[in-house]
Amino acid sequence: MYDYVIVGAGSAGCVLANRLSEDPDVRVLLVEAGPPDTNENIHVPLGYLQLGATEVDWDYHSAPEEHCDGRRIVLPRGKVLGGSSSINAMVYIRGNHLDYDEWGVAGWSWADLAPYFIKAEDNERGASELHGAGGPLPVSEERSHNRISHAFVEAGVEAGLPRNDDFNGPTQDGVGMYQVTQRGGMRASAAVAYLRPAMERPNLEVLTHMQVNRILFDGTRAVGVEASRLGEPRELRAEREVILCAGAYNSPQLLMLSGVGEPEHLAMREIEVLLDQPAVGTNLSDHPATQLVWTTPEPESLLLALEPDALSEYEATQTGPFASNFAEAGGFARVGDGAPAPDIQFHAVPLQIIDEGAKDPEAHGIWVSPCLLTERSRGSVRLASKDPTAKPIVHNAFYSEGDDMQRMIAGLRLALDICARPALAKYCADPFNVPAGDSEEALRAHAARTTFAIYHPVGTCRMGTDAAAVVDEQLRVNGLEGLRVVDASVMPTVPRGNTNAPTIALAERAADLIRHGRALLGPAAQASADAEPAVA
């Protein structure tokens, strides 16, 4: 018997395991379906290119995407201690202030979340009004020092975008080098930053290779989970709460497997309905991104990692190609009419990428990706069957609503403009994967052919106060007791930027809510919560 059973050791789960176990009188269990984070490629930044479709990746794919030439899009998700923070590109972006204010959920505005971003952060630039130092999460400058990445920034300035040395500073717009979640040239996943320092506590237990099959209930109260470890069934009991931190695909999957979802969908999978909640698994949002690739005769790309000197440099100083987070440079721009904040983000990688990495590079080159930050389209997560090991059915439904495609086309035009500027000319010498022309038809066809999900899924267990919300302001599942969801699935919309930092800040605040309840909600939210006291 534990006080809290946390399902999923990703960014949110590692934060909660650390923060909740700070109280020595609380017994915390963290369960993870994948293995420990012992694979060397997790910790050497460039090594993450070797992690896709291995034992540390759930290796999901979307259903055929109608507006993307019917392609099934690869959806990597971390299945390991640290979750996706152990296999991501380590970019540290908080998102735009408007993102959180537009959620319209009491207690989750930018003013509410900003202190948690700062609390989590250990920025090598030091503490300031907008940044933290001494927190668990290392934030560092890039250490690859690749000339192509810096040339992208100069080309963006030549194209008229402002130079921005801190995307998490006063403004988000502009181009610059990304800060990364690394320490000393090594990946700083949530497992490294939060979980490892807490694992010696006697009141925290961590179980890997633990597949959770469903949530156990006594009436409408969650009392634990049913799981299996290497084929052996287990029941893990929670005296206070079960907390789902399984992510935007697996948290709704577990709710549905446990009888919480749309009744007809559950009945078709022979699952007894516990709670009629059709919103579970809906509202899926991600950042669709497209790709542009050029090759160059200049020997400057990350292919230099194949040279013996690169490994010697990394071993000596933890710099050079092996320290690369891959997406080293980028920026934020506005392309939509009257956009109140950036709606396009760029990631620039100093490497020729072929078929999303499915084929080896053939030459030095550059890959530039504009992604749409504020998509109108919404997708879904559904069960393939009642077998908990069956992969969920994910429909992104990219470009199915509003002006998403038009703004993506505008993002492609801006990216092509940047890549044609003098600063990048010698690195964009030969087109390799670019549109067939500059017409809207050619750009639309290129977007459909090359769009991928940039691995920022949110929204499938949306928080809010309306009837369609899955969880309330304290992230408690509406209609049930003793059950919360704490991960990116509760975000009503995807923030403008990479989602690891927002997920960590969300979990930091959730830990305080779990420990202190309504005291953190503010007067208005406390009043609305009076009818349902926080679970002890």
Report d(CA 334, CA 337) in Å as an integer.
8
pTM of the model: 0.95
DSSP for 484-511, please give it: EE-SGGG-SS--SS-SHHHHHHHHHHHH
Mean pLDDT of 75-93: 98
Cα–Cα distance measured from residue 507 to residue 288, given in angstroms and rounded to the nearest whole number: 25
pLDDT digits (tens, 9 = 90+) for 141-187: 999 999 999 999 999 999 999 999 999 999 999 999 999 999 999 99
Query: Is pLDDT at 264 greater than 60 in this prediction?
Result: yes
Per-residue pLDDT reduced to its tens digit, 442-488: 999 999 999 999 999 999 999 999 988 999 999 999 999 999 999 99
pLDDT at residue 37, as a whole number: 98
Residue 63 near residue 72, CB atoms below 8 Å: yes
Tell whether the model's pLDDT for residue 369 goes beyond 90.
Answer: yes
Structural domains of the chain ordered from first start:
1-60+69-135+186-283+455-536 (3.50.50.60), 143-177+288-374+399-450 (3.30.410.40)
Please compute, for residue 395, the number of CA atoms within 13 A of its CA located in the half-sphere on the CB side. Answer: 16
Helical pair 147-158 and 404-419, crossing angle rounded to 10 deg: 110
What's the average model confidence in pLDDT over 222-235? 95
β-strand pairing of 380-382 with 232-244:
unpaired
pLDDT at residue 398, rounded to an integer = 98
**pLDDT reported for residue 534:** 35
What does the pLDDT read at residue 518?
Answer: 54
Q: Is the pLDDT of residue 528 over 70?
A: no
So what's the pLDDT on residue 527?
A: 45
The token duo for 60 is 């999901």
Task: Please give the distance of CA 409 from its chain centroid, rounded to a whole number.
Answer: 24
448 in helix, strand or coil?
helix
Question: Among residues 438, 447, 513, which one has the least CA distance to residue 474?
Answer: 513
Task: Report how far residue 272's alpha carbon sits from residue 279's, in angstroms, rounded to the nearest whole number.
Answer: 17
| Longest CA pairwise span in the chain (Å) | 68
Catalytic residue, candidates 209, 446, 456, 516: 456
Nearest to 522 by CA among 19, 12, 105: 105
- Assign 522 a pLDDT band (cuts: 50, 70, 90): low
Span 290-335, pLDDT tens digits: 999 999 999 999 999 999 999 999 999 999 999 999 999 999 999 9
Whether the per-residue pLDDT at 36 is higher than 50: the answer is yes
Identify the pLDDT of residue 523.
43
Please tell me the predicted confidence (pLDDT) of residue 525. Answer: 46
| pLDDT number for residue 402 | 94
Annotated active-site residue 456? The verdict is yes
Mean pLDDT for all residues in the chain: 95
pLDDT digits (tens, 9 = 90+) for 89-117: 999 999 999 999 999 999 999 999 999 99
Predicted confidence at residue 519, as pLDDT, reads 52
Supply the angle between the helices 500-516 and 110-120 in degrees, to the nearest 10.
Answer: 100
